[in-house]
Chain A
Amino acid sequence: MEGLLEAFYASRDTYVSVYLGLLRYVVPVLAVFLLARCAKPLLTFRREPEIWAWLNLPGDNQIPITHWENVIGRSKSCDVTINFPTVSRNHAVLTRYDDGSWTITDAGSKDGVQVNGKPVQICAIREEDVISIGGVDMQLQPITAKQEQRQAQLRTKAASGWDSVGNLLVLTLLQGLMVLGFLLSEQGDGLMSILEGFGGIALCQWVLLIFYLIIRRTSFEVETLAFFLCTVGMAAIASVKPGETVKQLIAMALGVVTFLGVGWSLRDLERAKIVRYCAVVAGVGFLVITLLFGKEYYGAKNWLVIGGMSLQPSELSKLCFVYAGASTMDRIMNKRNIILFIAYSVVICGFLALMNDFGTALIFFCAFLVIAYLRSGNMGTIALAITALGFAGVLALKIAPHALKRFAVWRHVWEDPFGAGYQQTQAMISIAAGGLLGLGPDRGRLQKVFAADSDIVFATVSEEWGLILAVITVLCIVVFGLFSIRTAKVSRSSFYAIGACTAASILVIQTILNSLGTVDVLPFTGVTFPFLSNGGTSMIGAWGLLGFVKAADTRQNASFAVRFTGQGRESDE
């Protein structure tokens, strides 16, 4: 027995190198498998047209109502087009609520909306009520509870619980293999904290899935991808700053709580509207506090130090901004609301300019573009905004020589590899060194370079785990984006569609700025990679944004932010 043990220790070098050699292939294979398994249902689910009510017009004319929020008007782009001269282009908005009730709202029409002959601004509709729009009389006939139940049954089911469990098992296996890789590498210090970091993620993901299964929600694809990204991020932190794994883990747990919180707030649109007001105030509040009490690091005053903890409140402001921008159809039709939103955006941008935080300002601006366009569809507004950004950008660059320096070195990093181009050239050298499969856990050299676990984390991952894995992390974010576009079509409310698209846009833009900035395709802005970069507030913010994406998932039994519909409420009973 002792001899065997001795032989085992003697051959240690061999089996370590064999294990690490195999790990290089196993990790990308598992990651590709996981991505494919999670992305497929998200990108290919059937989007059946659903009918929620019928609008009965004179002359046995029945128009199906296919959304929960419908614009009625003369314009062809309306959800319900009534081509009659007295009907305004956008006349009214017909809205369905969770409990199956309907209301009609006047969208600032010329002739107004009458219900049973009485002019109304907003009015709940019963089945027998006669709605008059521009002189056209109509009656709303909601589908029966039975029809609704049948519709729910026909609706694409989210992945089965077993699929989700299977995916999570694969992810857990991946985590286990990575940890073992670190243990065998024996180059790192703080093996205990690495174990805690990875173990914590695994625990978190299983607790969340079990919670989902208890409340009979089975779809876990979006969450699995996010946990996968967190795992890869943890691997980067484990080799760069092994002491910070637990800190990052706590941030992730808080992020999951935020994710659930966002989902809960969106579960009921009336509640969402209240949360929205709080978020609007909080969004500005975070920035004001930072401006007053913040610390300046690396040229940008965007850090808040409380009791030894460094926070970046602007990361949370992004989340608030999505709340501020998302809106239901009846409010979108009101011009005053978009003007208020633009004013709000200007205030936010002003604060960011004062904070000298160029990267965040850029993200906010892109989010603003998405929201403004989704809401108004007006390219003129957006052209104006872009011009404004141009001027503001020039001004900001004048004020911030630190940002200007980054622009000056853009596409010229190889000319100054020891100075202004240091981080990017080191990142690219390391990516090349890692090849497609990586050098192995803690075997990279980039970890000694500043911000290896945040601003240039893409390269750290690429060096130690291979370019394939690094590309997969980017593709995960792409999947979030594509899913948001796809699911918008079956979205119950524009609030969800706008929320999901804006949130996913922010995630995509951050990924663009981070990964492409690292490799000098774009200027280096020092923005974090969602879920991957070391940074507590950024992690919480990313999970919060994911909450919006998840809330837009209307597949049956997919998101807890969507209530079960139909009389029996639960289709699978």
Chain B
Amino acid sequence: MNRVVKRTWLMALFICLLLGGLGWFLFDYTVSAPKWIGSAGSSYVHAGTVGFGSITDRSGDLLLEIGDAKSYSQDPATRASTMHWLGDRQGNISAPVISNYAADMSGYNVVNGVYDFSGLGGQMELTVSSRVQNVAMEALAGRKGTVAVYNYKTGEILCAVTGPTYDPDNLPDLTGESYEGVFLNRFTQSAYVPGSIFKVVTTAAALDCVPDILDKTFRCDGIYPYGEERVTCEKAHGTLDLKGALAHSCNCAFAQISELVGKKNMTAYVKKFGLTQSVHFDGITTAKGNYDVSNTAQVSFAWSCIGQYTDLINPCRFMTFMGSIAGGGVGAEPYIVSRVSSGGKQVYAAETKKTDRIVSAQVAKTLTQYLENNVKSIYGAGNFPGLTVCAKSGTSQLGGGKTSNAMFAGFVADEAYPLAFIVVVENGGYGANTCVPVISRVLAECKQVLDGE
């Protein structure tokens, strides 16, 4: 008998396994439970529970009501323009922003779970304006790309649309070419070849590290050779200073400027400006960019300073960069959720987070003047009545015979309208021609919305 009694320890092993596993789970629970509540499959968020709550835009217009079912805005245009933030009905488009605050919004806490004492449910207010969203969507006119505007002083994103999109309550056949990549939020999840909008980066670097840059001039014959290889412009620009080079987007001049800045400096500036890093806000991590000129020929480096070669930028990141220049070297980190409340009690309120200083106030000021000059001399200030717009266009070549992407990035330099923006129209052709009409409509709408507040 003694032996059998002694051997019963084996059973203690099973009990330890059970208690150990349970302990592990309970630890996991205390750490991750809020994440579970907000996860993609959570019926508490996505199919909703009674009185889970509502999501509105900055003007209080209802965008999404999650109750027993999920009901979007009454307006089909709003449904389409905001779907990439709110998620679709099929689970193809996720809603990281909602997931991020779902636990807060449902009034979740570790002790009570989502038990709703008040019956009021939760509210989330986004910083976007559905009016601007709809105008931007209309201006994109079914093309692929993204239009985004944010307040570089506070960080509020006023508008961030992505095309193509569709009305989640009126699901079209998504198999056609026109819906390619429709599940992507291009503003946060894409990385594009920047093209000439990247010249702003090179200019900022040159202004900062080349002492006599303002006295230098650059000669453009339409071709700037590097042995067999060469950098080309569409036409010979003649002699240009830095300001003129940026205004005319002269590749040959920028090849020469790239030599003045040098690989090492350029790489350091791209890093300092954070251009290849993700932006993090409200549960979103944007796509990373790319800038890699290690082991490249001089000509490739020159092209990298013109925004070609292997350069990639994420629209949200580049918009933030523009915001920092607009803010005199320091901008604000973007965000899209302004406040969250649960059961009538505010549980989250956004706070402005300043970016690190990327350039001196002096460099930012000079650059601002250059960019304003671009609009006045090239794009036409008349496109932006009542707004002092500073911007740079880009036409990023994709190779493979594809039509170039049209890019346009900049900001409004007015105290009352501190807005930075970016426009990407995929295969849109010439940057300025395609993007200026789009952003001119969107900024006008933003102005109206801000005036009304």
Contacts and interface: CB of A to CB of B under 8 A. Distances in A.
Interface of A: 21, 24, 67-71, 77-79, 329, 332, 366, 369-370, 373-375, 377, 414, 417-418, 422, 425-426, 428-429, 431-440, 445, 448, 463, 466-467, 471, 474, 477-478, 481-482, 484-485, 488-489, 491, 494, 497-498, 501, 504-505, 508-509, 511-512, 515-516, 519, 521-522
Nearest to B18: A512
Contact of A377 (B3, B39, B109): B3
Contacts of B19: 478
Nearest to A20: B115
B24 A521 contact: yes
A477 B36 CA distance: 27
Most interface-central of B9, B14, B117 (chain A CB within 10 A): B14
Given A374-B10, A437-B111, A438-B113, A418 B41 contact: yes
A511 B108 CA distance: 28
Nearest to B103: A432
A485 B1 contact: no
Q: How large is the interface on B (under 10, 10 to 19, 20 to 34, 35 or more residues)?
A: 35 or more
B17 to A, nearest CB: 6
A432 B33 contact: yes
A328 B49 CA distance: 58
Contacts of A374: 4, 7-8, 10
B200 to A, nearest CB: 39
Nearest to A373: B10
B37 interface: yes
Interface in B10-32: 10-12, 14-15, 17-19, 21-22, 24-26, 28-29
A432 B3 CA distance: 45
B22 A471 contact: yes
Contact of A366 (B14, B34, B111): B14
A439 B109 CA distance: 12
B2 A485 contact: no
Contacts of A68: 1
Contacts of A71: 1-3
Given A436-B111, A508-B14, A511-B18, 18 more contacts: A71-B2, A79-B1, A329-B4, A370-B10, A374-B7, A417-B40, A425-B41, A429-B41, A432-B33, A435-B109, A435-B113, A436-B112, A478-B19, A481-B11, A484-B11, A488-B5, A497-B5, A498-B4
Contacts of B111: 435-437
Given A435-B109, A435-B110, A77 B21 contact: no
Nearest to A66: B1
Contact of B4 (A448, A497, A509, A512): A497
Given A432-B34, A504-B11, A445 B44 contact: yes
A431 B33 CA distance: 8
Contacts of B28: 519, 521
Contacts of A515: 18, 21-22
A467 B9 CA distance: 29
Nearest to B116: A439
Contacts of A425: 36, 39, 41
B380 interface: no
Contacts of B26: 467, 471
B309 to A, nearest CB: 35
B1 A69 contact: yes
A47 to B, nearest CB: 10
28 contacts: A21-B117, A68-B1, A71-B3, A78-B2, A370-B11, A374-B7, A375-B4, A414-B39, A418-B41, A428-B36, A432-B34, A434-B113, A439-B113, A439-B115, A440-B115, A445-B43, A448-B43, A467-B29, A474-B18, A478-B18, A478-B19, A485-B9, A485-B11, A485-B12, A491-B1, A501-B11, A515-B18, A515-B22
B114 interface: yes
Nearest to A382: B10
A377 B9 CA distance: 11
Contacts of B9: 485
Contacts of B6: 77
Contact of A481 (B14, B44, B110, B112): B14
A440 B44 CA distance: 15
Contacts of A370: 10-11
A489 B7 CA distance: 11
A491 B11 contact: no
A508 B112 CA distance: 29
